[in-house]
Structure 1
Amino acid sequence: MAAVEQTTVRETVRRIWADDVLPSLSGLVEIPALSPAFDTEWAATGHLDAAIAHVKGWLEARQIPGATVRVVRLEGRTPVLLLDVPATPSAEDRGTVLLYGHLDKQPPVGGWAEGLGPWKPVVRDGRLYGRGSADDGYAGYAATAALESIHAADGAHARAVVLLETGEESGSPDLPAYLDELSDFLGDVSFVVCLDSGGQDYERLWLTTSLRGLVQVRVTVRVLESGQHSGLASGVVPSSFRVLRLLLDRLEDPATGELKLPELNVDIPANRVEEATRTAESVASMSTAFPLAGSTRPVTEDSLEQLLNNSWRPTLSVLGAAGLPDPAEAGNVLRDSTTLALGFRLPPTADSAAALAAIEKVLTTDVPYSATVELSGLEYADGWNAPATAPWLSAALDHVGEAVFAAPSRSVGLGGSIPFMGLLGEKYPNAQFLVTGALGPDSNAHVPDEWLHLDQAQRVTEAVAHILDAHARG
């Protein structure tokens, strides 16, 4: 099926990673390019611009025939870096391949292991440690190396545009404007490759076929104008915490964690259940990936149910709280109010706006004791469900499973949200999607000791090269 020559692709990818990618990616780790949500003065601090300049310099030094590099800046928005590579002669009618990545990063957070740090690149035991190494600084490098390996092996690819944004960790608020601005430039996008994902192990290519949507809301229950002595007021004035607990019980079954509102639930598509069943047969329980404390048990021991819970069923997490003093400083006070930050993960095909409206209604209607309820920080985003896989892509996945990984690829729904995927799905309804990456369950994205599995990143790069060649040949 795949005409591109296997050995040359592999050798080229490994040479580029060892000689060119790893040194430059290590330099990128050193740049504290916080996403705008975590650095509101990003334009003044200049770290996002430094990341753009760093990768731009690396791209300009590559020798891909006809390739051009440019930075696009819309007024008041974070910049975007573009690599535009013309199609090989046999693939000029195959539209545009959009290869996506991002250069902005999560905050450093404390608690990194000895010898490690967020802005300190360290290679240890086949891993590159540092913030942004795996999420998702490597993506632009991998996409470019894949294209270079295709040329080295006399393969084919359609016109390819590598787009690296700098606001993904803030929810990609500027990406819609850039996609509108670049609509004519991008042309007919027939294939989207996103390397901002991963899977359950480092032994195969993992495909993300769905992403959950989200709703976030801060709910405050207020019962007093000011706190009162608990010995005097309790039993007369209701506890704001108890009112909140009653409201939460309207949303969530406290024994099972199941969410009760129909707007937050969907029927799981049969093909996604089949995928999850195959994945459950290939990997250990998801609970082994998390540091459960003491004798804590997972919600369910069944691997299939874990996968479906994490990808197609809604969940509620209490993300934060206010109005609750530290226990060591807590006096005998019936507090005036309690605030909880609630995070809902929604099934990929749920209507997030309808879900938010239903949540708002439940939290503000017939409130116990007629307590005052205030909602703030409202946010919602739809999930994404991949289109049916085209025959050429299915065959290419079978090929790389055998030739690159010696293990069949597997599909999984990602429990988190990547808001731009829903946007891209709406923008390019006729495109095929490959959402994959080198992240594993223990890669520590967003938390201390983030690391990139270097061998997996190289295998993913090699796989992308084969799949781009297959796309070009149809």
Structure 2
Amino acid sequence: MDPHISRKFINGEWEDSILPALKEYVSIHNVSPAYDKNWETNGYIDHVVELFTGWILSQNLRGMYMEVYREEGRTPLILVEIEPSSEKCADRTVLLYGHMDKQPPLLPWDDGLHPYRPVIRDGLLYGRGCADDGYALFSSVAAIRNLQVQNLDHARCLIMIESGEESGSPDLPYYMEKLSSKIGKPDFIICLDSGCGNYEQLWLTTSLRGLVSGTLTVQILERGVHSGHASGIVPSSFRIIRQLLDRIEDPDTGVLKIPELNVEIPPDRVKEAERCAQSLGSSIADEFPFIAGSGPVSTNYAELLLNRCWRPTLSITGVDGLPSLSESGNVLRSHTSLQLSVRVPPTADASLAAEALKRVLEADPPYGARVSFVYEKSGAGWNAATLSPWASQSFDNSSMEYFGKHCDYMGEGGSIPLINLLANHFPQSQLCVTGLLGPDSNAHGPNERLDIEYAKKLTCCISQIIYDHANPQIEKK
């Protein structure tokens, strides 16, 4: 594989074909179904399907077959199949995954930026969904086309693009079962829906935390009463809920106390965090918009990475029962409700963690208050298997070739439910998770952006890795 030809071809594809299509994609309001109750009738997802399939057809991939699968009440799925380049690669399959649905816009964006109006500024493409992860389809196709242009080997390739990932991929298990005979048993899976520690090298995601989310409610009165008349006699629901939170979290350190939420961190992941801390340094914390004079919970960067990737944490993401400041009065409120988001370690049992949270929070309610913890969902984390020798070598070689630095490895603090789905559905497969959601990419927040130069290099790396996968000699090194 000639890296000079690959750079020239893939850079040209991005400038001439991918960026125009990606900008059109940004302009479409295809919010994921969990956040858009009218998704079946407003046509936004259908618009993206038309854009994606039309662009794929324009690429003239050899041996390509494409199908859009639809079921009533289910989000559509695009499956692209590219035949192997030769008989010697016919017994191998690469599956490349991405999704087309988007998070809600979450306004406001900075001046001159808008979630649905694409802007290129200083080498960055701004717009909702461009980095998370509308680019995945385009990068996957360009990586394979690069091999075909150079008449290089590649195995059978499948590109699977779903439209419900941001809603937890509710329809993906159904389609994977329905299409199991068509998909077969991929021996290598590349998921392009993750992040990178910086924009200077290729990154592989080695773990993801699980998630337990639910609503904690404390009710002490049937209705609100005058605070001057009742306070001192009636305990505040807010004070009771503080007491309950202290049962599960140390208020001074943020350490979660429940055994089911904690695991022993594998020694190799500790060493990994230490290596990453040396590579990334203060950027681990600097990427966050701290107000002047504030800072992270620790200045030990390895510990910060372990906190984010391997330790459980509690976030309060919503509240009910509290009036706005402009509407508040001298009232002792009847109840307080909090939305709890608990990230659990990659190897913890999320369902047991959810039950433990419920048990601890609801036991012996202070003052006989009515306490309930209703968890809406619990999802397991993921800890990657050890890379096979050829894959480890290929990732590192491609990173050196296109970035000039070795590939690095890092856990992610977020959750991607589909990764466990893929891992469990294809237990025999080498599952590699990567992506371009680096510092300030703001995937779910305002000003989402894609680093164009990084995307080009990542596409080159993916092309090289697909080629290496088809070359049996790589495995013998």
Q: TM-score, normalised by structure 2?
A: 0.97
Q: 1:393 to 1:61 in 2, by over 3 A?
A: same
Q: Report the Cα offset of residue 5 of structure 1.
A: 2.2
Contact 1:35-1:166 at 8 Å conserved across structures: yes
Question: Given the alignment, which residue of 33, 38, 41 partners 1:36?
Answer: 33
Question: Given the alignment, which residue of 449, 453, 466 partners 1:451?
Answer: 449
Give the structure 2 partner of residue 77 of structure 1. Answer: 74
Give the structure 2 partner of residue 13 of structure 1. Answer: 10
Give the structure 2 partner of residue 464 of structure 1. Answer: 462
Q: Which runs of 5+ in 2 are unaligned?
A: 473-477
Give the structure 2 partner of residue 336 of structure 1. Answer: 334
* Structure 1 residues 390-409: aligned runs within 5 Å: 390-409=388-407
Give the structure 2 partner of residue 206 of structure 1. Answer: 203
Contact 1:9-1:152 at 8 Å conserved across structures: no
1:150 aligns with 2:147: yes
1:63 aligns with 2:72: no
Q: Report the Cα offset of residue 374 of structure 1.
A: 2.5
Deviation string 1:90-122 (CA, Å, 9 cap, x unpaired) is 543443211000110111121112221111111
Contact 1:322-1:338 at 8 Å conserved across structures: yes
2:125 maps to amino acid: L
Give the structure 1 partner of residue 224 of structure 2. Answer: 227
1:289 aligns with 2:287: yes
Residues of 2 paired with 1:369 and 1:5: CA distance? 73
1:240 aligns with 2:237: yes
SS of aligned partner of 2:187: strand
* Structure 1 residues 165-314: aligned runs within 5 Å: 165-285=162-282, 286-314=284-312
Q: Report the Cα offset of residue 176 of structure 1.
A: 0.9
Contact 2:354-2:375 at 8 Å conserved across structures: no
Deviation string 1:413-469 (CA, Å, 9 cap, x unpaired) is 110000000111111112112211112120111111111100000100000011111
2:197 maps to amino acid: Q
Give the structure 2 partner of residue 139 of structure 1. Answer: 136
Residues of 1 paired with 2:152 and 2:320: CA distance? 58
Residues of 1 paired with 2:4 and 2:340: CA distance? 51
1:358 maps to amino acid: A
Contact 1:94-1:472 at 8 Å conserved across structures: no
* Structure 1 residues 376-387: aligned runs within 5 Å: 376-387=374-385
Residues of 1 paired with 2:430 and 2:424: CA distance? 12
Contact 1:213-1:348 at 8 Å conserved across structures: yes
Q: Report the Cα offset of residue 333 of structure 1.
A: 1.1
1:246 maps to amino acid: Q
Question: Given the alignment, which residue of 323, 326, 331 partners 2:324?
Answer: 326
Q: Report the Cα offset of residue 131 of structure 1.
A: 0.7
Give the structure 1 partner of residue 408 of structure 2. Answer: 410
Contact 2:224-2:334 at 8 Å conserved across structures: yes
Contact 2:217-2:336 at 8 Å conserved across structures: yes
Q: TM-score, normalised by structure 1?
A: 0.97
Contact 1:206-1:437 at 8 Å conserved across structures: yes
Q: Report the Cα offset of residue 377 of structure 1.
A: 4.9
Q: Which runs of 5+ in 1 are unaligned?
A: none
Residues of 2 paired with 1:432 and 1:154: CA distance? 25
How many residue pairs align between the two structures? 471
Residues of 2 paired with 1:153 and 1:145: CA distance? 12
Deviation string 1:288-321 (CA, Å, 9 cap, x unpaired) is 0000012112111111001100000000000111
Give the structure 1 partner of residue 99 of structure 2. Answer: 102
Contact 2:28-2:48 at 8 Å conserved across structures: yes
Give the structure 1 partner of residue 158 of structure 2. Answer: 161
2:73 maps to amino acid: G
Question: Given the alignment, which residue of 357, 376, 390 partners 1:359?
Answer: 357
What percentage of residue pairs aligned between the two structures are identical? Answer: 47
Q: Report the Cα offset of residue 329 of structure 1.
A: 2.3
Name the stretch that deviates more: 138-147 or 110-119: 110-119
Q: 1:90 to 1:408 in 2, by over 3 A?
A: farther
Contact 2:212-2:375 at 8 Å conserved across structures: no
Give the structure 2 partner of residue 119 of structure 1. Answer: 116
